Amino acid sequence: MPVEAIKVENLSFRYNSIEVLSNVSFGVEAGDYIGLVGPNGSGKSTLIKVILGLLEPVRGSIRLLGYPSSDMKAREKVGYLPQKMSFFNPNFPATVSETVALGLVSKKRFPKRMDAADVAAIDRVLELLNISNLKREMIGDLSGGQQQRVFIARALVNEPEILLLDEPTTALDPGTREGFFELISYLNREKKVTVMLVTHDMGTIGQFARKLLYIDKEIIFYGGFDDFCMSEKMTAFFGPASQHLICHRHE
């Protein structure tokens, strides 16, 4: 049996005394693409942060590619695109290339100068994202869609095997959104990156993800779209209209 990319068992998490994840268990096969959905405040971002090891669960275990999630061997194989770029000051005087280089820094135990391999890795990822021409631009001068590509590049520069994406809620124009989804699908299909994407866009996720993980503190549904769309239990839970919203584009 191949090692699962993500294995979550009996996971519970609390902020202070309030439980926001309750006994969550699921596994993600390597190369799969999971759409993580649920109402506002249902624990999606928290789940991603617990998987990343940014938050400590009260109970349960997480393994990434067979390693405990706290293990460096696991951590360096995971790329993360946070929902909010609030830590990011658009006036920060950094070029695109320097911003992407930050994705390499966390891998190194001690800060050191970039070597030729680092420079090559940055060039490769910029090319992959089709932003080589922006390399020397200041990050603050770019459009929202271009900045997002730079942050995806930063998440990818380590060549992660798992990509955890908290879809930005900042309104992106439809073309940029489409480009974003196409890029993630490409990475999943061609580069075999395992993807877990938090999305509010229930209407289109069926076009991209292979499985749906619907949580509301606990797992409500986990499985393929066909199973979701045919499930009478889910029709009863969501109502036919909402179920249809998720299913109608996934013919």
Q: Which of 41, 140 has the CB closer to ligand ADP?
A: 41
Residue 199 binds ligand ADP, judged by CB under 6 A:
no
Q: How far is the CB of 117 from ligand ADP (least distance, A)?
A: 36
Q: Residue 133 and residue 106: Cα distance in Å, rounded?
A: 25
Measured CA to CA in angstroms, residue 134 lies from 79, 81, 112 at distances of 22, 20, 25
Answer for the pair 199, 205: CB distance below 8 angstroms, yes or no. Answer: yes
Residue 38 binds ligand ADP, judged by CB under 6 A:
yes
Q: Residue 117 and residue 125: Cα distance in Å, rounded?
A: 12
Judged by CB under 6 A, the number of residues near ligand ADP is 10
Q: How far is the CB of 237 from ligand ADP (least distance, A)?
A: 17
Segment near ligand ADP (CB under 6 A); pick from 35-43, 71-79, 95-103, 173-181: 35-43
Positive or negative, the Cα torsion across 96, 180, 194, 243? positive
Q: Which of 40, 133 has the CB closer to ligand ADP?
A: 40
| Cβ-proximal residues to 50 (8 Å cutoff; 6+ apart), any chain | 11, 13, 21, 56, 57, 62
Residue 149 binds ligand ADP, judged by CB under 6 A:
no
Residue 86 binds ligand ADP, judged by CB under 6 A:
no
Using CB under 6 A, which of 40, 86, 91, 133 touches ligand ADP? 40
End-to-end CA distance of the chain: 31
Q: Residue 12 and residue 24: Cα distance in Å, rounded?
A: 7
Token pair belonging to 37:
């959905």
Q: Which of 5, 37 has the CB closer to ligand ADP?
A: 37
Residue 44 binds ligand ADP, judged by CB under 6 A:
yes
Segment near ligand ADP (CB under 6 A); pick from 2-10, 38-46, 112-120, 127-135: 38-46
Provide the binding-site residues for ligand ADP, judged by CB under 6 A.
15, 20, 38, 40-46
